[in-house]
Structure 1
Amino acid sequence: MRFLKLALFSIIFLFIGITGLGLLFPSTVVVSRATDIVAPKDSILAYLSNINQWKQWVEGMNNEAVIITSPTEANLVGTTVSITSIKNYTVQSVWTGKKGRVQQSTIQIYQDAASPKAVVHWQFVQ
């Protein structure tokens, strides 16, 4: 009987501990990256704003299973990508996974007039 009580209390405290730890994780996750590219930001925007151009810079876009339905929509082997907005050197898109999970992506291009480099910053929010 003592052993059963110990096992029951251990399981209850373990459950409470794991639940408490899980509550510490954020409900929204943001993944952010940036890179420098030596090119005018107009040229970079042309590659970012048209999914047909992604084959030249996104790994896996040359896969035969990738179906590009329009310059703003594609199916990447179960994940649907839709470009929703192109404004002020910012491209926003929505990525919907096989299970319906939605991620919002924002790609921004920054360039100082005195520099030949442009900074391309992108982030995913889930």
Structure 2
Amino acid sequence: MKYLKLAIFSIGSLFLLVTCIGLLFPSRVTVIRSASFNQPIDSVYPMLHDLSNWHYWLFDSTHPGKLLTTSSIGPGASIQVGSSKITITHDSAYYIESTWHGSKSNDQICGWRLSQDPNTPGTMLRWHYTQHLDWYPWERVGAVLNEKILGPSMDSSMARLKRHFEQQRE
């Protein structure tokens, strides 16, 4: 009985300690990537705001996208990619925002901002993912890995988009 009380007290103390440490981590995590394209904004914008073009560049294109709405453009347009449902929530003036709803995690807000690149005649693309986290310690501590998981996928997608434009020029 003495060892059982010690085990329960130890597990409870460890859980409380991990929870307190987890609360020190931010409740919102954002991963950001940027890239320049030697294309005018009007060429890059349709690749992002039209869901039917995402298969050309999106990192998870191993799963075919299934359009869930009649329109593939504008707020309300929705697509299923793998286990994620992606819905465009905002689309105006070269800024597109979407909500990514996965089956096992909190929703993520994803946004793309296009602007004229000041150094070239091309386009600057800024892509961000933002995830709001619950108080659970495993979510807070695990969110540190978001950069390691999403970053390479985002880099790969931007590289695919650059290759797509290069192939169009050939």
**What is the TM-score when the length of structure 1 is the normalising length?**
0.81
SS state at 1:29 partner? strand
Give the structure 2 partner of residue 68 of structure 1: 67
More helix by share: 2
Deviates more, 1:73-82 or 1:104-113: 104-113
* C-alpha RMSD of the superposition: 2.5
- Alignment coverage as a number of residue pairs: 125
How has the CA–CA distance of structure 1 residues 116 and 9 changed in structure 2, closer, same or farther, with 3 Å as cutoff?
Answer: same
Flag the 1:60–1:100 CA change in 2: closer, same or farther, 3 A: closer
Which amino acid is the alignment partner of residue 79 of structure 1?
A: S
Which one has the bigger strand percentage? Answer: 1
The one-character-per-residue Cα deviations of 1:83-121 (angstroms, maximum 9, x if unpaired) are: 122111100111111247311111001114672231110
Matched, 1:82 2:72: no
Call closer, same or farther: CA 1:11–1:73 in 2, change over 3 Å: closer
Where structure 2 has 5 or more consecutive residues not aligned to the other structure, the ranges are: 132-170
Match of 2:15 in 1: 15
> Alignment partner for residue 127 of structure 2, among 115, 118, 122?
122
Where in structure 1 are there 5+ consecutive unaligned residues?
none
Q: Would the alpha carbon gap of residues 89 and 9 (structure 1) be closer, same or farther in structure 2, given more than 3 Å must change?
A: same
Q: Distance in 1 between matches of 2:86 and 2:7?
A: 49
* Maintained 8 Å contact 2:98/2:110: yes
Matched-pair identity in % = 32
- Number of the residue aligned with 1:36: 36
User: Could you say what secondary structure the match of 1:83 adopts?
Assistant: strand
Question: In the aligned structure 2, how far is the partner of 1:62 from the partner of 1:13?
Answer: 44
* Deviation by residue 1:26-73 (Cα, 9 ceiling, x = unmatched): 111111111111100111101111010111111333534x31234131
Residue aligning to 2:55: 55
Q: Measured at CA, do residues 112 and 120 of structure 1 come closer, stay the same or move farther in structure 2, by a change above 3 Å?
A: closer
**TM-score (structure 2 length as normaliser):** 0.62
Q: CA deviation at 1:17?
A: 2.3
The residue type equivalent to 2:121 in the other structure is P
